Amino acid sequence: MAFFSTLGTGVLGGSNSPRPNAVEPQSESFLPITTLTTADFKQKNGRGLVELNEAIDHEAQILTRTLTHLGSGYIFDVVQYSLREIMRNVFEHSGSLNLHYCAQYWPSTKTVELIISDCGMGIYNSLVLNPSFKNLAPRDALHFACLPGVSGNAEAMRERASPNPWRNSGYGLYMTSRLCRNDGDFLVISSDKALSLNHSGKSDFSIQNLRGTLIRLHLKLHEVETLRSALARYTVEGKTISEDIRGAKVLEASAASQMLRRDFLKAGKSLS
Amino acid sequence: MRLTWLMFQTLDKGPVLPYTRITFPSTVSLPQLVEWNKHLWLASNELEVRIDFSNTRFFTPFAMMFIVHQLEHYRSKLKQQF
């Protein structure tokens, strides 16, 4: 997992040190702890928000292929989608210019653990920027953030008729946590609070002195339906749920939050 | 506070000054990570903290990311290089 190289090579015990946290030879399905910055994306192909999102989508595709050794299919789709949505969330809401990620894939059990962290303002501070949620307590903010139609960016959410497929609809954490809750679990730690969600319910606890946000997605990828049909179902469910949330926008998920990479490619071809 | 981390049994061979030692078990659960974080926070009043990573070979990606995230936090907070 390249743990110690992340901390800095100077801390190791010498040139004859064994490789700590080295992944076993038979299992190279991992992404080491890595930092990505918005500058990395801009250097590749983007200048504005739309371009940044497209660059993130492309990066998520490359990372998913590296992690899973797959180029298509349910597992590929779920991992690529989840990576993209969480990375988009960091750059849209945290105020941080960089994020850290790492992941591991266990093919025999079709399990993926994906972790993304940032040192930004945290979910609570982001959500209370929306006047509808300004009175939320930090603990409640985490619960709200995982509900559909909830976002700290009130202005962006007013763009109901925006043709921008990347518009903010407040569905990013909801969709990814929903995917995890099928058989795995979803953990978010932010602003000294933590929330864990799985198929049987949720639990929360406090943690001392944690900066920014840390999200773990534990996905059990037993294919029971296509990702496209699952996302469509969650969108309908989400719209119904958001009707009961005070302050939430009763919107459908943005196109991006419902679409896979190949859907964008198809849409691009049909327009050209 | 000075923070040091090492992975071998050389941890106690440094200068003989009082220090707090933090050691991980061979596997670590979320509650244990929370405790570790609390321990590190409490130890921040100590002159020196030495963290023993010799057991972390089979830690989950989450455990490692959590540790890195918090150590980076302390590093920037203390403005010290490890």
Q: How far is CA B39 from CA A3, A4, B5, in A?
A: 21, 21, 15
Task: Provide the shortest C-alpha distance from residue A83 to chain B (in Å).
Answer: 15
For residue A5, the model assigns a pLDDT of: 64
Nearest to B69 among A11, A103, A214 (CB): A214
Position A19 pLDDT exceeds 50: no
Nearest to A21 among B10, B57, B82 (CB): B57
What is the mean pLDDT of the segment spanning B45-55?
71
Confirm or reject contact between B15 and chain A (CB < 8 A). no
Note which residues in 34-93 of chain A have CB less than 8 A from chain B. none
Confirm or reject contact between A10 and chain B (CB < 8 A). yes
Confirm or reject contact between A112 and chain B (CB < 8 A). no
Count other Cβ atoms within 10 Å, centred on residue B81: 8
**Total beta-carbon pairs less than 8 A apart between chain A and chain B:** 88
Position A101 pLDDT exceeds 80: yes
Token code pair at residue A48: 């504005």
Kindly report, residue by residue over B4-43, the tens digit of the pLDDT.
Answer: 655 444 555 555 566 677 777 778 888 888 888 888 777 7
Position A245 pLDDT exceeds 90: no
- Reported as a pLDDT band with limits 50, 70 and 90, residue A151 is confident
Confirm or reject contact between A188 and chain B (CB < 8 A). no
CB atoms B62 and A210 under 8 Å? no
Position A25 pLDDT exceeds 50: no
Position A158 pLDDT exceeds 90: no
Confirm or reject contact between A24 and chain B (CB < 8 A). no
Token code pair at residue A270: 């049909």
Contacts of A14 (CB under 8 A, 6+ apart): none
**pLDDT over 90, % of chain B:** 2
Find chain B residues with C-beta within 8 A of A117's C-beta. 65, 69
**pLDDT over 70, % of chain A:** 71
Position A8 pLDDT exceeds 70: no
Kindly report, residue by residue over A165-181, the tens digit of the pLDDT.
Answer: 666 667 889 989 999 98
E runs forming strands in chain A: 30-37, 98-106, 111-118, 185-190, 193-198, 201-206, 213-220
d(CA A66, CA A203): 33
Q: Complex ipTM, two decimals?
A: 0.78
